[in-house]
Chain A
């Protein structure tokens, strides 16, 4: 069954680097991998997007291996305000031949002081 997999939750302390991995074995060939951040009672917000290798912006880095079957969101030096749920979004190639835009189940990150 084509799907994405993320850890349910992670804990960290302020100032630490946090890495969240999403597995997506059936990712479609030509589509990007996108990560979102969601705070309670808000819609998800775009963080970063990449196709392969490494992408970095002012908020995060995204590491994608050559086979693209996983991706790792890296948050440097997290703060309390990074406490949120993080989702990966990929396009999967389904058994039916259809392509499906699919969210991961989300990783709840809790940052402690």
Chain B
């Protein structure tokens, strides 16, 4: 059974703080993703990684960075948190898409981040 875990379910930070959101998957998946989800806007891709130390920007990378030092772990970093980064953050993992029967993303439970 695939498991994707996120370090916190709820997090409260202050404006200007550096914030780390951690994601770990146990399925040896190459691809990992970070999304944010806001009411009325659906899921928006921030960054994704297709291999260790590899990353690509998604649709809304501004204000974020990522780190993938090990295959099972993908971290999202808010260098200086701002109130407009208050959101639900979802991590997902997947085997490389385009292969038969493997275009399935497995999601973590999400981290609800509030920036005051």
Contact = CB atoms under 8 A, between A and B. Distances in A.
A42 B97 contact: no
Contact of A43 (B41, B92, B97, B103): B92
Contacts of A69: none
Q: Chain B interface: which size bin? A: 20 to 34
A87 interface: yes
Contacts of B4: 43
Q: Chain A interface: which size bin? A: 20 to 34
B110 to A, nearest CB: 5
Contacts of B107: 36, 43-45
Nearest to B33: A101
A46 B105 CA distance: 8
Interface in B19-48: 33, 35, 41-43, 45, 48
Given A43-B92, A103-B43, A49 B109 contact: no
Given A31-B97, A91-B98, A105-B42, A43 B110 contact: yes
17 contacts: A36-B107, A41-B109, A41-B112, A42-B110, A44-B90, A44-B107, A46-B104, A46-B106, A49-B103, A87-B43, A89-B105, A91-B103, A101-B48, A103-B42, A103-B45, A105-B41, A106-B42
